[in-house]
Amino acid sequence: MNSFETLYRELRKKHGRPADQWALWCKRPKTEKEREKVIIEAILTQRANWKNVQLAWKNLKRAKIISLKKISKTNLKKLASLIKPSGFYLSKAKYLLNLARFIIENYQSLKEFKKQKASILRKELLKLKGIGPETADSILLYALDKPVFVIDEYTRRLIKEKGLAKNFSYDFLQNLFEKNLRKDFRLYQDFHALIVIEGKEKNKQKRVIVGGTFEVLHPGHKALLKRAFSLANKGEVVIGLTSDSFAKNLKKREIKPYKKRRGALESFLKENFQGKIKIVKIEDIFGPALKEDFDFIVVSPETYKNALLINQKRRKIKKRPIKIEEIEFVLDAKGEPYSSTKILAGQQKIS
């Protein structure tokens, strides 16, 4: 198994089969209407987010202009007004009209268009204004089931991150993927979709929860918080700070007052982290993790079992589990995990 096949398996294991906006594009087989929709969306999605693409599609559907034949007969001004939510609507309206008219006038139907060789279709598509390699290959792969791998910015970033190439030109990367994968449009569709899903996942701001007593902000606590902010990716970090009664029950000893612990925590956060931060008082191990949704819960080996209990309860109330991120213990010079109890008792020093 080569690096590209391994990468595909890793992405498939992590994300499963492409869903949501990719459900139609990776559907097999597709009806002719579905293929036409993919072609239309391939133009609308240029420099646009998917939400706005769908708003434009709803307008087309409401106007009953959702086939290439009907688009080819629609005047430019009307088409532009319908696809306005997708942005750059005047240019995209021209691109759609040119593409629809080209297919209808030269092939009469999408069914006949699909019969042509991929190499010939690609050359013809690239001659049309507004259709570059990425759009052309998206149409060939997702609408026509031609085994042509699509290259985009998400693909380039992933290849660079994995160190799989030094040349990031479109043609080089396309050849690299096709040379290292079996020639199968199904594999190409799913692989490319998963690359985009992975890329968007990395860029997405997350909501992360972490909890603790934070009586002494030792290196273990700092590692916990550092990981939480890293995962949040400029999103929100919610910190569950134990109440005095809950902390005392957990530690079985006198604890620094909540107000003092919160003040020290706020000062540390202000000095070391930026972003959306919310500190909430918790009276049990669950805190807001049952009622609210989070992308990650960050725990130590000591509190990992609490995260499992949280997800167990969430499943019972029909809420999706929170991804558990367990960090390793941070050890002192003697190889022992840092502990507020030991530090306060003078049995451990912070190095």
What is the per-residue pLDDT across 54-78, written as a single tens digit (0 to 9) for each? 999 999 999 999 999 999 999 999 9
What CA–CA distance (Å, rounded) separates 255 from 244?
7
Residue 351 has pLDDT above 80, yes or no: no
Which H, E and C letters describe 196-221, residue by residue?
A: HHHHHHHHCCCEEEEEECCCCCCHHH
Nearby residues of 99 by Cβ (< 8 Å), 6 or more positions away:
39, 43, 68, 125, 128, 130, 131
- For residue 257, whether the previous peptide bond is cis, meaning omega lies within 30 degrees of 0, is no
Residue 190 above 80 pLDDT? yes
Q: pLDDT confidence of 346, banded at 50, 70, 90?
A: confident
- Please give the mean pLDDT across all residues of the chain: 94
Structure tokens belonging to residue 299: 């725990």
For residues 226-254, give the mean pLDDT: 90
Query: Nearest to residue 237, comparing CAs of 303, 296, 290, 150?
Result: 296
pLDDT tens digits for 322-338? 999 999 999 888 888 88
> What's the CATH code, domain 207-344?
3.40.50.620
pLDDT confidence of residue 156:
96
**Per-residue CA distances from 69 to 53, 138, 259 (Å):** 20, 20, 69
Q: Looking at the chain, which residues constitute the CATH 3.40.50.620 domain(s)?
A: 207-344
- Whether 164 has a pLDDT exceeding 90, the answer reads yes
Fold of 3-196: Endonuclease III; domain 1 (1.10.340)
Which whole-number Å values give the CA distances from 172 to 4, 186, 347, in the listed order? Answer: 15, 21, 60
User: For residues 94 and 130, is the Cβ–Cβ distance under 8 A?
Assistant: yes
pLDDT tens digits, residue range 271-288?
Answer: 988 889 999 999 999 999
Average pLDDT over residues 248-260: 86
Interval 7-44: pLDDT, tens: 999 999 999 999 989 999 999 999 999 999 999 999 99
pLDDT band at 87, cuts 50/70/90? very high
State the pLDDT confidence band at 195, using cuts at 50, 70 and 90: very high
Over residues 144-163, the mean pLDDT reads 96
**CA dihedral (307, 308, 309, 310) positive or negative:** positive
List where CATH 1.10.340.30 sits in the chain: 3-196
- What is the structure's pLDDT at 158? 96
So what's the pLDDT on residue 252? 75
* Spatial separation of the C-alpha atoms in residues 207 and 275, rounded to whole Å: 11
Find how far residue 201's CA is from the centre of its chain: 2
**Phi and psi, residue 276, nearest 5°:** -80, 120
Residue 243, pLDDT > 80, answer: yes
Nearest to 145 by CA among 118, 124, 126: 118
Q: Are 146 and 113 in contact (CB under 8 A)?
A: no
CA-to-CA distance for 42 and 145, rounded, in angstroms? 14
User: In this structure, what token pair is assigned to residue 195?
Assistant: 């690359």
Q: Are 265 and 218 in contact (CB under 8 A)?
A: no
* pLDDT over 80 at 188, yes or no: yes
Q: Is the dihedral of CA 76, 81, 83, 87 positive or negative?
A: positive
Q: How many CA atoms lie within 13 A of 306 on its CB side?
A: 20
Question: Distance between alpha carbon 125 and the CA centroid of its chain, in Å?
Answer: 30
